[in-house]
Amino acid sequence: MFKNIKLRALWFILVVMSIIIVALFALIFPGLNKSVEQEQSPYYNEPFRPQYHFTPEANWMNDPNGMVYYEGEYHLFYQYHPYGTRWGPMHWGHAVSKDLVHWEHLPVALQPDEHGYIFSGSAVVDWNNTSGLGTDPKHPPLVAIFTHSKDKQIQSIAYSNDKGRTWEKYAGNPIMPNPPNVDWRDPKVFWHEETRQWVMILAAGEKAMLYTSSNLKDWTYVSEFGKPNGAPDGVWECPDLFSLPVDGDPNKKKWVLAVSINNGSIAGGSGMQYFVGNFDGKTFTNDNPANTTLWADYGADFYAGVTWSDDPNHKSSRLWLAWMSNWQYANDTPTSTWRSAFSLVRKIELKTLPEGIRMVQTPVPQLKQLRHLTKSISDQLVQPGINQLDDINGETLEIVAEFQVDQSTTADEFGFKVRKGERNETIVGFGRQNGTLFVDRTRSGISDFHGDFAKRHEAPLTVQNNKVTMHIFVDRSSVEVFGNEGERVITDQIFPDASATGLELYTAGGNVTLNSLHIYSLDKVWKK
């Protein structure tokens, strides 16, 4: 071979050059190998498995619990059945995050015991070791306050002195052994600085009950708040109570009482409402007439949302997330090895809108790290029958759009069709006639597991300064829509065909101008 010396030299040069080219390619495009690897990895890649929302590795999850920030980590505990994909003996699953986007799974934190299952509850940093459960003056203990449920519902506590890695149940449990009500659960505790005491709010049937304590162990009943305030139906669950500045003004503070109700929510089944008012350390008073109902989310899949405690990074807002399901069908959704996801982490603020002081929610900015810009459009007329996005495919998308809605607008309806395929589409739109933002999941995919799933969910939305904005997150089996910078939110699960990855920008009945549009594909956050 290669008797000819010139040929041999040529061959050598060719081989060396190929090696250099391959090496350069790998250096310049390191992501290519990785994304192929990621796509092929079966980890977090089952049908419908969310790619950037929180889900447990396996099995059943419902409410978020014990949300607390401690020494650089956001803790997220959750109602968890480690041995099945349906609701069962409740444990507290556990994960932590530094950026509210990537989560590290940790071992189960709390297991059922002789007092019963571990139902929902909260966690706080006991800064001054009021409980006496701390062991290291430099690192105060974390204390979890939760419901034990067996033949009755009672309240108990557990503590951790190692950054939440291991938990000890308090020897004196239950700390509140005498239920005044059959339903008596989901304690949310916070430190009330003005009266220098701990306050607990918990759900008791059709109301919330409030207690105070100096040491997290001995609690005194102080007041209650409930129906006829708010939505008329349903049992109250998972309440939360926190203060926020109005319009960012630290001198104008209001209190928000948020509560989940099951059933009777705006989109059917379970959902969340909130009240705006005042709290003096003992009693919450509602600013609005009792029959005013304020919905935290107008979709069917936003439940048991509670806010993070002790978060130094958000002094004039609160962060929360919620269980992205509905008790109507939570046990029957068509996922395989796990069941249920949490919503994105949202920032809550209070703003003065024309109708009054309202909660405004926006996705946390940390999510921007997942973006890959796919398409930008500005100042375009959108006409019926022409899809300007027919070159885009995706099942993990973020869509940021601003429409001009004025005298020149002739469209009755406009928006996006996401997860569009031969048989499916989920419509996210604005109806001009009645001023509604909506998600229509009547043709979104599998829905036969519950008769009420295939529905359209609407939220009132006012055109402001001739504009309507939509901020949409699609993650395989969910759609979250923030209308007009978070004034209205709709959160819905969907279960489309795997092949339904199309996207359409649509208008019906006439034209509308699209001021700006940015479409991003979003990265997967789950790696082994």
Binding site for ligand FRU (CB under 6 A): 62-63, 79, 90, 119-120, 147, 185-186, 237-238, 304
Comparison of 325 and 521: residue with beta carbon closer to ligand FRU: 325
Q: How far is the CB of 182 from ligand FRU (least distance, A)?
A: 12
For the beta carbon of residue 466, count every other beta carbon within 10 angstroms: 14
**Start-to-end Cα distance in the chain:** 48
Comparison of 154 and 357: residue with beta carbon closer to ligand FRU: 154
Cα–Cα dist 503/53, whole Å: 21
Strands (E), 150-234: 153-160, 168-169, 185-192, 197-203, 207-213, 220-226
Q: How far is the CB of 180 from ligand FRU (least distance, A)?
A: 16
Q: How far is the CB of 440 from ligand FRU (least distance, A)?
A: 26
Comparison of 50 and 239: residue with beta carbon closer to ligand FRU: 239
What count of Cα atoms within 13 Å lies in the side-chain half-sphere of residue 182?
2
Comparison of 188 and 476: residue with beta carbon closer to ligand FRU: 188
Q: How far is the CB of 271 from ligand FRU (least distance, A)?
A: 11
Residue that has been written with the tokens 């009693």 in this structure: 283
Of 335, 487, 366, 506, residue with least CA distance to 425: 506
Cα–Cα dist 138/130, whole Å: 14
In order of 154, 215, 345, 441, the CA distances from 150 in angstroms are 9, 26, 32, 38
Of 377, 380, 506, residue with least CA distance to 431: 506
CB neighbour list of residue 378: distance below 8 Å, 6 or more residues apart: 514, 515, 516, 517
Check if the beta carbon of residue 357 is closer than 8 Å to that of residue 351: yes
Is beta strand 396-404 parallel, antiparallel or unpaired with respect to 512-522?
Answer: antiparallel
Q: How far is the CB of 219 from ligand FRU (least distance, A)?
A: 18
Comparison of 63 and 487: residue with beta carbon closer to ligand FRU: 63
Is beta strand 271-279 parallel, antiparallel or unpaired with respect to 294-295?
Answer: antiparallel
In order of 11, 142, 192, 239, 271, the CA distances from 202 in angstroms are 78, 19, 16, 6, 17
SS (H, E, C) 347-409: EEEEEEECCEEEEEEEECHHHHHHEEEEEEEEEEEECCCCCCCCCCECCEEEEEEEEECCCCC
Comparison of 109 and 304: residue with beta carbon closer to ligand FRU: 304
Comparison of 236 and 414: residue with beta carbon closer to ligand FRU: 236
Q: Could you say which of 63, 186, 297, 301 is catalytic?
A: 63
Q: How far is the CB of 148 from ligand FRU (least distance, A)?
A: 10
- 63 assigned to active site: yes
Comparison of 62 and 229: residue with beta carbon closer to ligand FRU: 62
> Which residues on neighbouring strands pair with residue 457, listed in sequence order?
439
Is beta strand 338-339 parallel, antiparallel or unpaired with respect to 59-70?
Answer: parallel
Q: How far is the CB of 389 from ligand FRU (least distance, A)?
A: 37
Active site residues: 63
